[in-house]
Structures are given as C-alpha cells and as structure tokens.
Amino acid sequence: MANKFPDWFQPNKATSYLDFRKYFNVDELWRKVAKVAKAAGLKAIYAVLLLYYVSVDPGTPWKAKMIIYGALGYFILPVDFIPDTIPLVGFTDDMAALTAALKAVWEYITPNIHDRAFQRLRTWFPDANHDEVRNIF
C-alpha cells in the first residue's frame, strides 16, 4: 500500500495511532454534532459519521486512523481558522479537513460503514434519503 502521508511527515515506527487518539474524544464529537448538525449541514455530518465509523472498524490501518482523528479533532475544536459561528462559511474549513480525510481513507469505507453512518445521520436528519446521501461523496 502506498504511503498516504506527505513526504515531510514520516511517523516513527514506534508511534501508535493510540498516541494520536488522545487528541480525539468520542463524547466531544457527539456533543459537537448534536449542537451544530443543522448549521453544519447534512454533508458535513455525513462526512463526520463516515470517518467515525471507519475509525472504529478493526480493519482500518493505524495510519488511516491518525488521519481520521486529526480531521475529527479539528471538527471538535472550539477555535477554528474560520469560526463556526459565521453564517454560510463557518464550517468551510471543517469541511475541507473532513473531505481531505475522506479522500485519504476512502478505500476503507465499506457498504456497511455507509449504512451505519446513514442510520446515525437520521438522528439529526430524519428525512434524509439513503440513495441521495450515498451519492454525496
């Protein structure tokens, strides 16, 4: 498998994805999603859910999990490059991080992960259409 990290970032072989996981907190993720779901929009929340379910899949390599934890950690952060409170553009930077992470780990997103993400998405978007959502990315 090709290295998905930029040339300047080469993790030490002793580094574990668990070292990076300490910057990501599942409880904070769900709090943030519940708080901003409508403002962030269906696409952003679906991206978050896809990444989350890939991160908990045992078949996902630790390098992919590090990328995911970085993107989800940025989503959770209360201070962003573009504050989330700015209407229309507040989640632009978050969406860029989420999209980049999705692109990097796309090969690990299975139909089961799509289904799990969609089911959880309906918590905040009960009228979401399964076929329409699967074609977002």
User: Rounded to two decimals, what is the model's pTM?
Assistant: 0.77
Q: Where are the domains of the chain?
A: 38-134
> Per residue of the chain (137 residues), what is the pLDDT tens digit?
444 544 444 445 444 444 545 556 788 889 889 988 988 889 999 999 999 999 999 999 989 998 998 889 888 876 655 555 555 556 777 888 899 999 999 999 999 999 999 999 999 999 999 888 888 87
Q: What is the pLDDT of residue 122?
A: 95
Query: From CA 113, how far away is CA 51, in angstroms rounded?
Result: 9
Q: Answer whether 69's CB lies under 8 Å from 60's CB.
A: no
Q: What is the pLDDT of residue 131?
A: 83
